[in-house]
Structure 1
Amino acid sequence: MTDLDDVAPPGNALSSRHLRRDRLHDTLDGAAGHRCVLVIGPAGIGKTELLRAWCAEQPMVTFYDLAHDGPARLRPPVRSKTSMSMVLDNVHRASKTQLDDIIGLLAEPVGPRLVIAGRWVPPRLRACLPTAGSTEIDGSALALTEDETARLCARYGRLSPETLAEVYAVTGGWTAGAIVAATSIAGDPVGTGHQLHRLHAIGATLHDYVVGDVLAHLSDDDRRAVADTSSVETVSAALFTALTGRPDAGRLLEELARDGMFAVAVGERGWHRYCRLWRTALYLHAQHFEPDRLRSLHRTAGDWYLAHGRYREAVHHATAAGDHAHAAELTTRYRFHLLADGPLITVIPAPSPTWPVPLVAGNRPSRHAGPVTAVAGVLAQTAATARDAPDADAARHVVERAAPVIAALNAGRPLEARTHLIAWLRAAHQLGPLPHARALRHSAATELQLGNLQLAAARAGQTRRILADHGVSGAHDDGWATIVLAAVHIQRNELTAAAEQLRGLAVDLWRTDAPLTAAEHLHRAMIEQQRGDVQAALRTTRQLIETGTPSAELLHLHVQLLLANGHTIDAERHAQTYAVWLTDPLRRLVDAGLLLAQHRAAEATETLQTFVQHTDGSTLCRIDALLLLADAAAQTGHLEHATHLRRQAERIAAPAGIRRPFLLNPPQNTVDPGPPVRGPADRVPPATLTDRELDVLRLLNTLLTVAEIAAALHLTDNTVKSHVSGIYRKLKVRRRRDAVRLAYTLQLL
């Protein structure tokens, strides 16, 4: 056999439109300390072009294409055996001889550095990697970022930022999909706005590619089974078997998920989700060529979900099967369950008007016609039919407990919401995991308003884990939990992490839920504002107001941005036009900001003075109010008082690490008055609380049990109990409620 000893790096084989991704080149360069680097990802993710571009920049690299260079032996050049790198592409198609050579090279104590690329790693090779000192660049790292998607699409035509964001959301960073989408949109004579509504339909052009390339290693029967299971959002082994009759569903799912080739695991209970664009290709093909079979699959899926108490999915699949009478019957019978579980948002193209509309009971189209109105409407109906359903009384009980929580949150009264949440959480937990997840995400939103960022993030994360573990993909509550996580990062000025959360939201939910989409863009505007790009943030908020029903948070941010740009008249006009949408706390903040812009400091102070004295509202709003009061004091020349007000705001924000309000409103015209005036916050008990006791005290101001507090702080239950006893002793109280109330008085919280 001919040895492949001196194959030159094929740099000239690169596409003229190849996108150099510095971060991946840096990762390859930085992995020099590892004997073996794996570059594993699905077809079309850009592995080969990445490695060819990297090879072209390296002085001593040999490139092998194991799929096309024949069964030649793999041996490094003798002259540079220990100092060179060998790039082995298409390892999933390596022959037995080539695998033997690779394993032999890894077994040598001294040898070349291997960069192994492919769609998956052959099991024989995977088994020997732990001892070889390997590291891996997987499909998630290979996927394009949002910025890289924009740079790649720019090579195929000029697209608006909104369109680029849509392309990224649909393709999920899959390079080949981004190219197909960019080419399709750039060449659309009707305009990108028209094309965007059909972006998912580009999957229809990929069916042959998916079947003939991505799934080429599977048998015909296996490919048939995969196509049939594309009728559901997520699939477990049991659901796979119900749809296909395959008793080996677990084995096939494991093979599809190997190295992230086609499916990805969702949660920890065996659920999987196919790549969105590839699933769309299979689904649209079935819809066009096998509509009767697809309707039958939907009926089977609906029956399976109904038997497992998953009523939202059962309604969805009954509608998709064209059985609208059955869908209506299920909706009536299980209406309380549907409201308790929350809406279901599906991510499937809708090419026909008979396609099921997402169940949106509980959505928030406006502040006054939101979930509370929907709940009240159901409760006002005769419940005779609903009582025939299993657990109908329990579901009704959960819905009744949810209404006051949602009403309090919409009104900006988080402490009131927290009080009602106790009953809702308890009832929802007894009804099932999905109702419990819905209550938890409202708990996360409550703690966010109260400024308890750590607990808000914990509740949001718990919500997402519960939904993922039960195979719920595209859930309304999952999206709002992600928004809470992004908001926590924004308040802490962790903008990169916040942007990552929003990117994940865009990919997971796409654009199927208008309120969620608006919330995503709102938080992107907050990031832009925090990064100093006020003009970009203003463009985002202006577009949101023009294209949809504005939320109170959006209007508050929009007025802030207008004032920051000196557009006082426009800010006042928007505040007057949309005043009905504002909660009382946000209305006061907006009014005070406008008054300060007009140098009417005394009126601004009067607007906020009573508000900051109440501790039952949003902590974030209270911090904003104190900073505006500081601005008012500085505007009237009371500089020491302004500094004192800012310090008061900082004391409230410090425990949770809240930084955003201070970055947007830096101190102006204040002085350092020397030692701070001793106020209520300084009147701590004779025995000062330790830092760990303060950590425990903050979590006592939540709904967490002692065991949950211990888990959150990585302590034992007995240690937390000891800290609680110490807190009670130092504060001279006997109950948790009294400790929290006194802590607020002393401004320890």
Structure 2
Amino acid sequence: MAGIGKTELLRAWCAEQAVVTFYDLAHDSPARLRPPVRTKTSMSMVLDNVHRASTTQLDDIIGLLAQPAGPRLVLAGRWVPPRLRAGLPSAGTTEIDGSALALTEDETARLCARYGHLTPETLAEVYAVTGGWTAGAVVAATSIAGDPVGTEHHLRQLHAIGVTLHDYVVGDVLAHLSDDDRRAVADTSAVETVCAALFTALTGRPDAGRLLEDLARDRMFAVPVGERGWHRYRRLWRTALYLHAQHFEPERQRTLHRSAADWYLGHGRYREAVHHATAAGDHLLAAELSNRYRFHLIADGPLVTVTPAPSPTWPVPLTVVNRPFRQAGPVTAAAGVMSQPTAAARDAPDADVARHVVEHAAPVIAALDAGCPLEARAHLVTWLHAAQQLGPLPHARALRHSAATELQLGNLHLAAAHAGQTRRILAEHGVGGAHDDGWARIVLAAVHIQRDELTAAAEQLRGLAVDLWRTDAPLTAAEHLHHAMIEQQRGDARAALRTTRQLVETEPPSAELLYLHIQLLLANGDGADAGRCATTHAARLTDPLRRLVDANLLLAQRRAAEATETLQAFVQRTDGSVPHRIDALLLLADAAAQIGHLDHAAHLRRQAERVAAPAGIRRPFLLNAAYSLNAAYNGADPSRSARAERLPPATATLTDRELTILGLLDTLLTVSEIADALHLTDNTVKSHISGIYRKLKVHRRRDAVRLARALELL
């Protein structure tokens, strides 16, 4: 992938090696590649820009790979030439693609710091726009540092214009394609995700599958979405192509959007059909589809569309493209070959869909908003069945709400499973930028936070920022809320308070946001502001959260008896949020401790432990200062109690690879996903896991993680 920092990384690595030969095949390489003179030290050859290698050089590289005692080769390029890929040995080769080299949010922040001070909010936006692309982060940081007042303008420009990026994409990223292939790629940039059938519908190309496979082979330009042949183009690349075409060929772009609308309509994807009809300027069609399929649209749930809008600064100077596209003929609307929607989805009368929405979806959403997850679950039983009959998108929406319900009920494993299933369904059907996908990520982040897996939670939020591009206000608010929860859990209450204060001041706050904000105000010693916030926004708090807020305020004022009275009835309920019930039990314990009833306080904390133990909930205990610090509770903190157990001495023999896998066991990744992340086979990972279990003297993943935490191996 171009601009990801491969060459700099390799040169830095070479400087640390004893014996290494570096060749840049685009500039200073010899006509023939020979191994370096053998020494007692192992030899290495670094070959950069292999995509520019000549046929002779490729033959030499393949010959070096075939030598059993040959040098260690490090090959880098924007893509792997087909001739070289065919000659790569099946074993002993490790491939690192652009996604592995992409910067994390923290690395993006450190890079941007070289060009000037940027606020945390701006850094988060830079990461969301660039997706960790090094060159893009540099462009953003330098432009913003030069004009800090115009931060928002520069980010919009980086997101939208693609002036220099278009030449870069065509001349560098897509240089290995023919003019006709590049034209086809530019045409398909009109859609968020594309499969072979949709590609053919937009371009008339019967070889769409081959071209998509070529684009995705090294994840240089296209990234597979799901397992049914859907792909999406890297965000900035797609933006550059789309806006350039929209400026120079607006009529063609409108025709492409109309073709996309027809294709989506024919496949029962009404929301995308409305979106593309609007983008085509056919507002009559968009209005007709919106009216005809209004209840289908509600059942499917909102779709966050990220088709770039024209920059308000057009016209702007444009560099002449070195490799211009050739006209590939008129845009056609060929029939797709994707599986058709279910008969129920295609033929269901609007009245049936309306009944589905009113009878099933609305009660679930209302129950969740009121903090009554058991009631929501009762309605979900019928909603899930009905949604499955309507098609994959309504089913994904129902599953997303089921994940949120199980999260409130404290069933973290089931919440994660339903959220993951939501994401898989959407990916398998090529739904990009989906509202439900975003909320599924929020549920996964919340699960990790409750388990104190903060790195994994942050990864989910980073993926949300990049994939959905922060185009949906409630989702963005939820993302920032969970970032604040992570900061709070890491002990940075001031940073968390800055985040929640901005959210409360700029958006209508949710009940969960208000609860967290008031907690943070009290933690920072600002009881007066906490009381004012509770009074101002009292109508937005559900009854359970209102009781928790009142109890927090009363305890801050040393009014333990009143706090106990406020919570006593609440903890007897078993139909509410389990994390909130744990909070209430711990607050009652604090109240008992305030008035000197330490034995009763310890009993209440043990009761909270019993509620939290089945799901492995740890967050409430970590935030309860009295629970974790007061010696009167005899070290009851579940995050510390395992230290009293007998620890197996064999843990000292864990290898580096086993420690790496042990860290990944403390996530929601499956064995196959761990294998993919480490470039290993499933059987190799299973063998390492067996070794970990044997050395830790445990038999289950959960026990291994628990003991590893006690040993501070995680």
- TM-score bracket relative to the smaller structure: 0.7 to 0.9
In 2, Cα distance between equivalents of 1:111 and 1:342: 57
CA spacing shift, 1:187–1:352, aligned 2, 3 Å: closer
Deviation at 1:252?
0.5
1:478 aligns with 2:437: yes
In 1, Cα distance between equivalents of 2:191 and 2:403: 29
In 2, Cα distance between equivalents of 1:205 and 1:117: 24
Deviations 1:114-146 (A, max 9, x none): 111112223343344344411122211110111
SS at match of 1:118: coil
Q: One-letter code of the match for 2:17?
A: Q
Matches of residues 104-503 of structure 1 in structure 2 within 5 Å?
104-188=63-147, 190-351=149-310, 390-400=348-358, 401-503=360-462
Deviation at 1:161?
1.2
SS at match of 1:621: helix
**1:57 equivalent in structure 2:** 16
Selected match of 1:89 from 44, 48, 61:
48
Selected match of 2:597 from 638, 643, 661:
638
Deviation at 1:152?
1.5
CA contact (8 A) 2:223 2:232 kept: yes
Deviation at 1:190?
4.6
Selected match of 1:671 from 624, 632, 635:
632
Deviation at 1:60?
1.2
Deviation at 1:78?
1.8
**1:657 equivalent in structure 2:** 616
Contiguous gaps of at least 5 residues in structure 1 = 1-41, 354-386, 676-749
In 1, Cα distance between equivalents of 2:584 and 2:545: 10
CA contact (8 A) 2:448 2:456 kept: yes
**2:531 equivalent in structure 1:** 572
Deviation at 1:487?
0.4
**2:652 equivalent in structure 1:** none
- Normalised to the residue count of structure 1, the TM-score between the two structures is 0.78
Q: One-letter code of the match for 2:357?
A: V
In 2, Cα distance between equivalents of 1:203 and 1:425: 43
Deviation at 1:75?
1.7
Deviations 1:217-268 (A, max 9, x none): 1111111100000000000000000000000000111111111011000010
CA spacing shift, 1:587–1:638, aligned 2, 3 Å: same
SS at match of 2:246: helix
Deviation at 1:70?
4.5
Deviations 1:359-406 (A, max 9, x none): xxxxxxxxxxxxxxxxxxxxxxxxxxxx99754233223212100000
CA contact (8 A) 2:246 2:310 kept: no
CA spacing shift, 1:476–1:422, aligned 2, 3 Å: same
In 1, Cα distance between equivalents of 2:406 and 2:526: 33
Deviation at 1:649?
0.4
CA spacing shift, 1:251–1:131, aligned 2, 3 Å: closer
Deviations 1:490-545 (A, max 9, x none): 00000000000000000001110000000000000000000001110000000111
The more displaced of 630-639 and 51-60 is 51-60
Q: One-letter code of the match for 2:202?
A: L
In 2, Cα distance between equivalents of 1:260 and 1:631: 53
CA contact (8 A) 1:169 1:510 kept: yes
CA spacing shift, 1:600–1:202, aligned 2, 3 Å: same
The more displaced of 57-66 and 279-288 is 57-66
CA contact (8 A) 1:120 1:259 kept: yes
In 2, Cα distance between equivalents of 1:56 and 1:82: 15
**1:680 equivalent in structure 2:** none
In 1, Cα distance between equivalents of 2:551 and 2:279: 51
In 1, Cα distance between equivalents of 2:36 and 2:30: 18
Deviations 1:13-49 (A, max 9, x none): xxxxxxxxxxxxxxxxxxxxxxxxxxxxx11111111
Matches of residues 484-523 of structure 1 in structure 2 within 5 Å?
484-523=443-482
**2:37 equivalent in structure 1:** 78
Contiguous gaps of at least 5 residues in structure 2 = 313-344, 637-714
**2:701 equivalent in structure 1:** none
SS at match of 2:223: strand
CA contact (8 A) 1:71 1:95 kept: no
In 2, Cα distance between equivalents of 1:93 and 1:313: 40
**2:2 equivalent in structure 1:** 43
Deviations 1:435-483 (A, max 9, x none): 0000000000000000000000000000000000000010100000000
CA contact (8 A) 2:191 2:307 kept: no
CA contact (8 A) 2:227 2:428 kept: yes
CA contact (8 A) 1:394 1:431 kept: no
Deviation at 1:82?
6.0
Deviations 1:280-316 (A, max 9, x none): 0011111111111100100000000000000000000
CA contact (8 A) 1:302 1:318 kept: yes
Deviations 1:586-612 (A, max 9, x none): 111000000000000000000000000
The more displaced of 537-546 and 151-160 is 151-160
Deviations 1:67-107 (A, max 9, x none): 22345222222242861211011112222222222222222
In 2, Cα distance between equivalents of 1:600 and 1:351: 59
In 1, Cα distance between equivalents of 2:347 and 2:159: 37
The more displaced of 144-153 and 456-465 is 144-153
CA contact (8 A) 1:82 1:111 kept: no
Q: One-letter code of the match for 2:356?
A: V
Deviation at 1:341?
0.2
SS at match of 1:136: coil
Deviation at 1:409?
0.1
Q: One-letter code of the match for 1:671?
A: A
**How large is the RMSD of aligned CA atoms in angstroms?**
1.8
- Normalised to the residue count of structure 2, the TM-score between the two structures is 0.82
In 2, Cα distance between equivalents of 1:543 and 1:196: 20
Choose between structure 1 and 2 for higher RCO, CA contacts under 8 A separated by at least 6 residues.
2
CA spacing shift, 1:249–1:81, aligned 2, 3 Å: farther
**2:26 equivalent in structure 1:** 67
CA spacing shift, 1:130–1:582, aligned 2, 3 Å: farther
Q: One-letter code of the match for 2:615?
A: A
In 1, Cα distance between equivalents of 2:551 and 2:573: 17
CA contact (8 A) 2:162 2:244 kept: no
Selected match of 1:99 from 50, 53, 58:
58
CA spacing shift, 1:614–1:102, aligned 2, 3 Å: same
Q: One-letter code of the match for 2:280?
A: A
% identity of equivalent residues: 83
CA spacing shift, 1:398–1:352, aligned 2, 3 Å: farther
**1:371 equivalent in structure 2:** none
Matches of residues 736-747 of structure 1 in structure 2 within 5 Å?
none
Q: One-letter code of the match for 2:400?
A: R
SS at match of 1:671: helix
**2:659 equivalent in structure 1:** none
CA spacing shift, 1:388–1:626, aligned 2, 3 Å: closer
CA contact (8 A) 1:107 1:132 kept: no
